[in-house]
Structure 1
Amino acid sequence: MTATTTTPLPAGAPVSKNAESALPTHAKVPSRIDGPRPTTGVPFGRLVHVELRKMLDTRAGRWLLIGIGAIIAIALTIMFFNRGGQHAFGEYLQATTMPMALILPVVGILAVTSEWSQRTGLVTFGLEPRRMRIAWAKLLSALVVGVCAFALSLVLAALAHQAAITFRGIDGDWSTEALVLLGAGGYVLLGIAQGVGFGMLFKNTPAAVVVFFVLPTAWSILSSMVSWLGDAATWLDMNQTMQPLFSGSLTGEQWAHLGTSVAVWVVAPLAVGIWRLTRAEVK
């Protein structure tokens, strides 16, 4: 067996034509590629479209949506046969929005953490190095999914209520306060935005999912057991601060409570998460 050693040339040393032809092929610099050069970056609309594909056109996202649909179907079926189907439209709406508000944030988490767990970050940030645009595209696409999900929940609730009126002979009750609709929509949108924030904050799917579900629950439990935490919960527990929305009335102080809790649980994770996303090392 023989071994061949190559002595590197010093930097700036001239290379003869014979020596240049003896260099390996991979050491030669490729010629300039012909054709027009791009003059603008990736359109923001295309970034949003790609992020929507990441959220919905994956096996995990698809099965999560199937799971949400199955839970909603079971809940509406139970309500249709329970008490003769005598439920108001607002109750059917609650049955359709609750599963979405609880599970859709996981779709937002996966849309962010997949860049690191599936190692797609090199492609994503290589094609669009301006990470701030990627962060906003992820958030906007998540909110678009939330808006579409809430619109679908309204349609399903209306269909279920009308079916109960037609086939079960109940008295229709379509009266729903505007604040109740605002609360239901806000519950879905804030939840998915919070999921995106936790995904950016942790960049790890198991950690983000566990903290997203465990931390608010633990906070609610502790606030019910410790008196001074109970006082703070009126400002920081979103489960409490959003309840007046569903009752259809909200005072100025309650709006302040809601704004404070949203700032802590939604705005702060998003702000810190975007800051981390723009500075994280992609491997």
Structure 2
Amino acid sequence: MSTTTATTTTTRRAPADSTPHVARLPEPLAGPRPARGIPFGRLVRAELRKMIDTRAGRWLLVAIGVVIAGALTVLFVQQGGDHPYGAYLQATAMPMALLLPVVGILAVTSEWSQRTALVTFTLEARRARVAWAKVVAALAVGVVAVVLSFALAAAVHAAAIGLRGATGDWGVEGTVLLGAGGYVLLGLLQGLAFGMLLRNTPAAVVLYYVLPTGWSILGSLWSAAASAGEWLDLNRTMQPLFGGSLTGEQWAQLGTSVGVWVLLPLLVGMVWVTRAEVK
């Protein structure tokens, strides 16, 4: 008797598609590729929104408006509103020159305190263009604020003439208007420069407001500081701007103080902004 043993061989068949699975990249977008970076005008518009369209910026502008409205109301009530246009103009320009520089400070320091600099400098790696966009945006805000202050002072003076019978006195020279505008814009640029130099809101605000007081204290205690303040105290050298005419020496004093307290901090601050570590 013979036994036949059948051997069955099982062969595993490979799947129809033995290619390993590889994730496919998305298809490239159609259309031409951009040939240049973000336009400078778009950067300026973005910086304008950062300065105005934020809670801090809006409340600061509201505070400036409230202070100016209060000063104009006092003039409108006192003496039947019988004040020259120059008095109304000073009531609008002085509060603006005092508070508007904080807008310039926040335009820079908010990038670092709120940790948005990483996003900003990722979208635009050329930090110098961002810094100059902040300067242009701050000047634009300052020019608009100055024009509005002039118009508001004129409106209140006209209301005093029409409603309270005040004597109309519009005798303000164009140089006085330019000087008042320059006073406000220089203060705004100084705030922006301190913001770039320190990149810290409390430090920049304190330095901006303590510096004039420090000059006054030193001048009262030390005669040499009083003499130096004639050339280095920016508040003192800017005062003749409201007069509308400056002598040659006053122009030299103004240029020296602006160079020390506005241009130098602005240039050094720009260098530091382009090199500082972003966290």
TM-score normalised according to structure 2 size: 0.89
Task: Quote how far apart the aligned CAs of 1:224 are.
Answer: 3.1
The match for 1:215 is: 211
Q: 1:56 corresponds to which letter in structure 2?
A: I
Report the CA distance shift for 1:40/1:229 in structure 2 as closer, same or farther (over 3 A): same
The match for 1:128 is: 124
Contact 2:179 2:243 in 1 (8 A): no
Report the CA distance shift for 1:29/1:203 in structure 2 as closer, same or farther (over 3 A): farther
Q: Distance in 2 between matches of 1:202 and 1:250?
A: 32
Task: Quote how far apart the aligned CAs of 1:235 are.
Answer: 0.5
What secondary structure, in the 3-state scheme, does the structure 1 residue paired with 2:169 have?
A: coil
- Residue 269 in 1 paired to residue 265 in 2? yes
RMSD over aligned CA atoms reads: 1.8
- Residue 59 in 1 paired to residue 55 in 2? yes
| Comparing 38-47 and 207-216, the one that deviates more | 207-216
Q: Distance in 1 between matches of 2:203 and 2:115?
A: 17
The match for 1:12 is: none
| Comparing 35-44 and 136-145, the one that deviates more | 35-44
Task: Quote how far apart the aligned CAs of 1:144 are.
Answer: 0.2
The match for 1:158 is: 154
What secondary structure, in the 3-state scheme, does the structure 2 residue paired with 1:42 have?
A: coil
The match for 2:5 is: none
Q: 1:170 corresponds to which letter in structure 2?
A: A
| Comparing 39-48 and 28-37, the one that deviates more | 28-37
Q: Distance in 2 between matches of 1:121 and 1:58?
A: 16
Contact 2:178 2:244 in 1 (8 A): no
What secondary structure, in the 3-state scheme, does the structure 2 residue paired with 1:55 have?
A: helix
**Deviation readout 1:89-142 (Å, 9 max, x if unpaired):** 011001011111111111111111111111111111111111110010000000
The match for 1:148 is: 144
Matching residue within 239, 245, 257 for 1:243:
239
Q: Distance in 2 between matches of 1:261 and 1:29?
A: 63
Q: Distance in 2 between matches of 1:218 and 1:32?
A: 64
**Of the two, which has the highest radius of gyration?**
2
Task: Quote how far apart the aligned CAs of 1:168 are.
Answer: 1.2
What secondary structure, in the 3-state scheme, does the structure 1 residue paired with 2:276 have?
A: coil
- Residue 170 in 1 paired to residue 166 in 2? yes
Aligned residues: 261
Q: Distance in 2 between matches of 1:29 and 1:47?
A: 36
Task: Quote how far apart the aligned CAs of 1:195 are.
Answer: 1.0
Matching residue within 255, 260, 269 for 2:256:
260
Q: 1:156 corresponds to which letter in structure 2?
A: L
**Deviation readout 1:62-91 (Å, 9 max, x if unpaired):** 000110111111111110011221111011
Report the CA distance shift for 1:275/1:84 in structure 2 as closer, same or farther (over 3 A): same
- Residue 278 in 1 paired to residue 268 in 2? no
The match for 1:34 is: 29
Q: Distance in 2 between matches of 1:31 and 1:78?
A: 67
Percent identity over the alignment is 65
Contact 2:105 2:192 in 1 (8 A): yes
Task: Quote how far apart the aligned CAs of 1:231 are.
Answer: 0.6
Q: Distance in 1 between matches of 2:52 and 2:150?
A: 21
Q: Distance in 2 between matches of 1:224 and 1:49?
A: 45
**Deviation readout 1:229-275 (Å, 9 max, x if unpaired):** 11111101122112222223211111100111111111111011101
The match for 1:199 is: 195
Task: Quote how far apart the aligned CAs of 1:209 are.
Answer: 1.0
TM-score normalised according to structure 1 size: 0.88
Report the CA distance shift for 1:226/1:256 in structure 2 as closer, same or farther (over 3 A): same
Contact 2:182 2:241 in 1 (8 A): no
Unaligned 5+ segments in structure 1 are: 1-17
